[in-house]
Every structure is written in structure tokens, then in C-alpha cells.
Amino acid sequence: MKKKLKIIIGVVAVFLIGLVGFCAWFLSGSGSAEYYAQIDNTKVEQVDYDETINVVAVCPQKVIGQLGPLVEGWKPHKEFWEE
């Protein structure tokens, strides 16, 4: 009887550990197509690999200003009084 009880407890423990691991993986967003940077909430929405790598992203103004020179046709933001 004791041996049977130990086996049952072991099986239940392994099952619970597996369930907790699966829930942690599932709720973490692994495999999601959207990635967020925690600092500035930049979000990569789409990446296409053709002859060049095309990235569609949502960024705050500060990040756009830092990456702007790398983007074709980008012009720095100007306030209405600067024109």
C-alpha cells in the first residue's frame, strides 16, 4: 500500500510541475508575433525578409528621432514655428 501511495504522489507531483511549467510558458507570450521593449513600448508588428529586411514598427517620437537617419525618406519632426 505504501509503495502504491508513493507512486501516486510522485505522478501527481510530476503532473502538477508540468502543468505549472506549461502555464508559465503559455502565459508568457512565447511564440507571439508582437515583441515589446519594456522601456519605451516600441512594438515590432511585421518583419519581411526579401532582398532587404523590411520592418514595420510602432515607436515613440524619441526612438524615431534616433533611427530616422536609417529610414529612407525620413525627415526630422519640426514644430509649426520652425518652418
Q: What is the pLDDT of residues 26-83, one digit of tens each?
A: 777 665 656 554 566 677 788 888 888 888 878 777 777 777 777 777 787 788 887 6
At 18 the pLDDT is: 93
Task: Look at residue 55 and tell me if it is in a domain.
Answer: yes
At 15 the pLDDT is: 93
The one-letter amino acid at 66:
Q
Task: Look at residue 2 and tell me if it is in a domain.
Answer: no
Domain span at 54: 32-72
pLDDT band at 12 (very low <50, low <70, confident <90, very high): very high
Task: Look at residue 26 and tell me if it is in a domain.
Answer: no
- The domain tally of the chain equals 1
At 34 the pLDDT is: 61
Task: Look at residue 60 and tell me if it is in a domain.
Answer: yes
Task: Look at residue 51 and tell me if it is in a domain.
Answer: yes
Residue 10 belongs to what H/E stretch? helix 2-27
Task: Look at residue 42 and tell me if it is in a domain.
Answer: yes
At 39 the pLDDT is: 60
Q: What is the rounded end-to-end Cα distance, in angstroms, of the chain?
A: 87
Task: Look at residue 54 and tell me if it is in a domain.
Answer: yes
Task: Look at residue 36 and tell me if it is in a domain.
Answer: yes
